[in-house]
Amino acid sequence: MGYRIDMSPLLAILMVSTSVAWACKINWEKLPHKVPGFADKARPQGLTVFNGNLVLSNHFKDARYRRPSELIFLHQESFKVLKKLSFPEGFAHVGGLGSDQQFIYASDFGQRDILQIDVASSFKNNTLVFKRALSLEIAGASGLSVRNDLLAVSFYALPHRSPYFRDRFLQFYDLSTSKRVHFKGEIFSSNFSQGLAFVEVKDKVFLVESINSFSSVLRYWLTGLDSASDIIRTYAVNVSAKTIRHMRDDVLPSTMVEDLAFDGERTLYTTDEQDFHFYRGAVQERCSN
């Protein structure tokens, strides 16, 4: 007498596994375009898209001369420099950039203040025009992203500098009230978080995080070089319910990834501060949370 095996539960598991495996997969390519200032070792840091242009910040920690960070506007396709503006003294390591339809927001690794940059006035006056949008609970912000009035902030946590940093953080703030917003859900540890980008696909909201994955932290601190591939981490976000859920981790063909920028359609951008190139990622349409 034969036995009949009901395959429906197994098929259901496989279907779920397949859908999760393909959820918000991003196909990355290294572009031939190098970041501005690479010849002087001005390292790329923050990145966002504003009014159809890429906006980049950098710092001169390893350059021939030290000075405040720059805010650089670039054509999204040709990467041609359209405008350069300088941050004020004290903002030498602007690592996070985010934007909405009105302003660009910037964070500096050594500061708690989030700056709100008036782009139109800055272009008109040929100098950076800004005000303080809010003050974070701690310094060390490395990545920013804005969706409506919601500001997401990641922190570049360095455990060996404890107690200044004990672990990495991912926080949310309401820009209209300047108050912290608490989301429910597990946020995975990643001690070298670098960038964030809200991505919306078919009315679903995701938060994508870029993470340095060092083969040797000591080697990096001694030489500024590393060889390990970096990580792109994707969370599903329900803004109204204030929940966040981890979906997947992927390998990024970069060894020193920085901040992320989303163009509002299907494309993500990032930079690598070791090879000084731009990277472009295509978000697949089969995106589900």
Q: Looking up tokens 């970069």, which residue turns up?
A: 254
Q: What pLDDT, on the 0 to 100 scale, is given for residue 153?
A: 95
Residues of the chain with pLDDT under 50: 1-22, 159-166
Q: Where are the domains of the chain?
A: 24-283
Q: How far is CA 4 from CA 1, 7, 8, 10, 11, in A?
A: 10, 9, 12, 14, 15
pLDDT tens for residues 56-74? 999 877 677 788 999 999 9
* pTM to 2 decimal places: 0.87
Q: What pLDDT, on the 0 to 100 scale, is given for residue 23?
A: 58
Q: What is the DSSP letter of 146?
A: E
| 30 beta partners | 279
Number of C-beta neighbours around residue 114 at 10 A? 23
On whether the CB atoms of residues 77 and 49 are closer than 8 A, the answer is no
Q: How far is CA 104 from CA 49, 54, 100, 112, 170, in A?
A: 9, 11, 7, 16, 20
Q: What is the DSSP letter of 65?
A: S
Nearest to 73 by CA among 61, 63, 85, 89: 85
Amino acid at site 30: K
Q: What pLDDT, on the 0 to 100 scale, is given for residue 129?
A: 97
What are the E-state strand segments in 35-121?
43-50, 53-59, 70-75, 81-86, 94-99, 104-108, 113-117
Residue 224: which H helix or E strand, with range?
none
Q: What pLDDT, on the 0 to 100 scale, is given for residue 289?
A: 52
Q: What pLDDT, on the 0 to 100 scale, is given for residue 288?
A: 57
Choosing among 3.30.420.40, 3.40.50.11740, 2.120.10.30, 3.40.50.720, the CATH entry for 24-283 is: 2.120.10.30
Which tokens is 153 given? 């902030």
- What does the mean pLDDT of the chain come to? 85
Q: What is the DSSP letter of 77?
A: T
Q: What pLDDT, on the 0 to 100 scale, is given for residue 171?
A: 92
